Amino acid sequence: MEDYPALHRYSDDQAQRYEAKRFSHARGRAVDAMEWLLLRRALTRFERRGGSLHDVLDVPVGTGRMAKRLGARGIEVTGLDASEDMLTVARNAHAAHAYQVGRAEHLPFPGRSFDAVVSIRLFGHLPAGAKAEVLKEFRRVARRGAIVFVPGQTRWLSMRRAWRARRGRPSGAWNPVSSSDMRSLADQADFHVMGALYLLVGFSETRAVILVPK
């Protein structure tokens, strides 16, 4: 399996400080609320197609901020993360029903183990070669499909990256995926793209892609 920076970033004190660093200030709280709103909209569309979800795999579960909300809807959540330290934070928050250390490219579960997979902040970190493998794993373990937050290429993102480059600041390993590339990746995994919902159309690169089996 291919290595990438995010695998090693969220350990020790980084895991302990993750939510405080990302979501404790006003902007972070707004982003957190909007991401949950986006996931809720995607869940509503997903459940209209096949009924309520009973069990979900959250990859990566991180500190459990979305797992707690899914659990509050009556969904049994299994949280998987490559970082044992992040899982410790999630366990302490009683975020999910079960926890597992592992990589999204090789999920440690039998086929058709869950109604669906939910993946919020993973795909932007994945190198190009890993994206299709991860979607194939999601297809293998999910009976009904997946909701995957996939960063899109927007004019605003391009402007931000150009601004950072002029100031000698790297863009980092955050990799947007075009709509056509997303359809191709889904096709390789035997998924159909049922729909895509944007956080802020034309402004934010965050979008929820709803995938269902072909």
User: Is residue 77 over pLDDT 80?
Assistant: yes
The size of the chain, in residues, is 214
State CA 116 to chain mean position distance.
Answer: 13
The Cα 187–Cα 193 span in angstroms is 8
Average pLDDT over residues 69-76: 98
- Please work out, in degrees rounded to the nearest 5, the angle formed at the alpha carbon of residue 90 by the alpha carbons of 23 and 213: 90
Query: Residue 83 contacts by C-beta under 8 Å, 6 or more apart in sequence?
Result: 7, 10, 11, 15, 60, 101
Average pLDDT over residues 144-161: 78
Average pLDDT over residues 48-65: 97
Q: What is the pLDDT of residue 206?
A: 87
161-212 confidence digits (pLDDT tens): 656 556 666 555 678 898 899 999 999 999 999 999 987 766 667 899 999 9
Backbone angles phi, psi at 39, to 5 degrees: -65, -40
Nearest to 77 by CA among 31, 26, 113, 128: 113
Using pLDDT thresholds of 50, 70 and 90, give the confidence band for residue 119: very high
Using pLDDT thresholds of 50, 70 and 90, give the confidence band for residue 150: very high
